[in-house]
Amino acid sequence: IFSSVQTQTTLKAKLESLQSHFTWNLNPHKAKLFLLRDKLEDIGTAEGYNWLGHIYNLQGYIHYHLGSTKEALRFFCRAAEALRQMRNTVSEEGPWLVVNYGNLAWLHYHMGEQAESQTYLSKVDILLNEYPSPCQEELHPEICAEKAWALMKFGKDSTLLAVQYFQRAIRMQPEMIEWHSSYVLALVSTFKLYKTQLDANTFEKLKIAKKHDPNNLYLATIYLAACAARGRRIDGKALQLAKKILKKPASSYSGIKPLLKLYRVYLSMDEALDLAEEALERHPGERYLMRCAAICYKKKILLHRDIPPEQVVVDRAISLYREVIALYHQSSLKRKITLANIYVKSTQNQAKADEIFAELLDQGEQEPGDRQMLYNYYAKYLHSIQRQNYKSIEYYMRAAAIQYPSVYRGNSIQILEKIRERKRNRMCREIEEFLDILQD
């Protein structure tokens, strides 16, 4: 018995020393994983070819945390095959498989299959010995690149770390064009691109990456947005880019989503709607394109609050959001909230907004961050639509009381502080006591 426990302890220690999705401190919250699972599915196999092995690896990790070891194993096996095909080398084995074998070692360990886990641990050791890193003090560039790509998917702080890992990978293996492109996209995503200009250094990196990766239309769209932010005219180039993107397979890597945002922010909201509808005509039933179109209609309706939208626009938005929610049913809390806010603009179905919020509030399964988001949006709805100011304050308090760091908690606290500072509300004393408790 002692020997068995000792063996298991040694095995666990070896697993924890691996470079693997299981050891990278990725966010395993279920709501985030559902969102990520859907995003990865929307990349598609054609547009995401250069990263296909990495996509499958991350999908395997997500399916494991969502409770399906069978799906996890299937995706890890697909990842191994994709990585071999993508590298197209004489040898089927190489450093690009280190993370994948690490994932398989972890999965078999969690499945109680210690012998299989040990087999993959041995494969990792062989690869690390046969393919040492060009820089002794660094991880192998293939590992750095995959770690960077995965980290990009887990929020701003992780993206800043991803930028560092891409830089390390590129220093050691500078000929990998897709690493340069993803590095620049990660770097740009740390800026508020559609609100401020990129600094000169980042803009130049983006320009160079676009030149070296001319078929990457996503990158081209981001570059055009950066040009528009600098005050350059982009009308003609945007139209040329739109024609190219519309011919591509429906994919989140095609560039359609940032292109539609480019049109909304710098050109024309109505042209963005026409472009979204044309994409749907070319690829009917594609859920990602429905999602992109739904966002355009949402912006048309909710951004211009002083201008009542036409009922036909509201009806189209409602129809799209209902379809998108059904197609992304496990990651659509925010979309349901948006649908409620769109129903408010309808002349026929305003009561549906109350029904949606009531249904969401009755669900007790949300994670802390999702509950905060719901309370925060409901508080805004109560204040601006229902004119129930005191009840609105109650829900801002509920959002703030949940001890989870998020923009919704921060926003709720800010609003409560402003109400307190104005000293016009009969709940000011209650708000002050509540905020004092939060600070303790």
Report if pTM > 0.85. yes
> What does the radius of gyration of the chain's CA atoms come to, in whole angstroms?
24
Instruction: Please give the mean pLDDT across all residues of the chain.
Output: 92
Non-local CB neighbours of 261 within 8 Å, separated by 6+ positions = 194, 225, 272
Cα 226–227–229 angle (5° rounding)?
65
Least confident residue range of 36-40, 171-175, 303-307 = 303-307
pLDDT at 239 over 70: yes
Alpha helices, DSSP H only, in 190-327? Answer: 200-212, 217-229, 235-246, 256-262, 269-282, 287-302, 311-327
Q: pLDDT tens, 134-146?
A: 988 899 999 999 9
Residue 2's identity, in one-letter code, is F
What's residue 104's pLDDT?
A: 98
Non-local CB neighbours of 32 within 8 Å, separated by 6+ positions = 154
What is the residue whose two structure tokens read 């070819």? 49
Q: pLDDT tens, 295-314?
A: 999 999 988 777 788 999 99
Q: Which of 422, 424, 419, 425 is nearest to 435 (CA)?
A: 419
Q: What is the full DSSP assignment across 164-208?
A: HHHHHHHHH-TT-HHHHHHHHHHHHHTS-TTTSPPPHHHHHHHHH
Which comes out higher in pLDDT, residue 239 or 194? Answer: 239
Residue 359 tokens, joined: 């249904």
pLDDT grade, residue 4 (50/70/90)? low
What's residue 202's pLDDT?
A: 95
pLDDT grade, residue 429 (50/70/90)? confident
pLDDT at 425 over 80: no
Non-local CB neighbours of 297 within 8 Å, separated by 6+ positions = 273, 313, 316, 317, 320, 342
pLDDT at 5 over 60: no
Instruction: Enter the DSSP assignment of 22.
Output: G
Residue 321's identity, in one-letter code, is Y
Cα 97 to its chain centre, rounded Å, is 25
- Rounded to whole angstroms, how far apart are CA atoms 25 and 20? 10
- Percent pLDDT > 70 in the chain is 97
pLDDT at 365 over 80: no
pLDDT grade, residue 88 (50/70/90)? low
Cα 204 to its chain centre, rounded Å, is 26
Average of per-residue pLDDT across 21-31: 89
Q: Please, are residues 95 and 126 in contact by the beta-carbon 8 Å criterion?
A: no
Which comes out higher in pLDDT, residue 437 or 27? Answer: 437
Query: For the chain, percent helix, then strand, then coil, each to nearest 5?
Result: 75, 0, 25
Cα 212–50–203 angle (5° rounding)?
35
Cα 307 to its chain centre, rounded Å, is 31
Q: Which of 253, 326, 266, 335 is nearest to 294 (CA)?
A: 335
Instruction: Enter the DSSP assignment of 402.
Output: S
Residue 404 tokens, joined: 């989870």
pLDDT at 86 over 90: no
What's residue 316's pLDDT?
A: 97
Q: Which of 21, 37, 139, 14 is nearest to 76 (CA)?
A: 21
Q: Residue 192 class from Cβ within 10 Å (0-12 exposed, 13-18 middle, 19+ buried)?
A: exposed
pLDDT at 371 over 60: yes
Residue 74 tokens, joined: 């299937």
Domains, the chain: 1-131 (1.25.40.10), 364-440 (no CATH)
- Percent pLDDT > 90 in the chain is 75
Q: Please, what is the end-to-end C-alpha distance for the chain in angstroms?
A: 49
pLDDT at 6 over 90: no
pLDDT grade, residue 1 (50/70/90)? very low
- Rounded to whole angstroms, how far apart are CA atoms 294 and 299? 9
Q: Residue 54 class from Cβ within 10 Å (0-12 exposed, 13-18 middle, 19+ buried)?
A: buried
pLDDT grade, residue 380 (50/70/90)? very high
- Rounded to whole angstroms, how far apart are CA atoms 395 and 388? 11
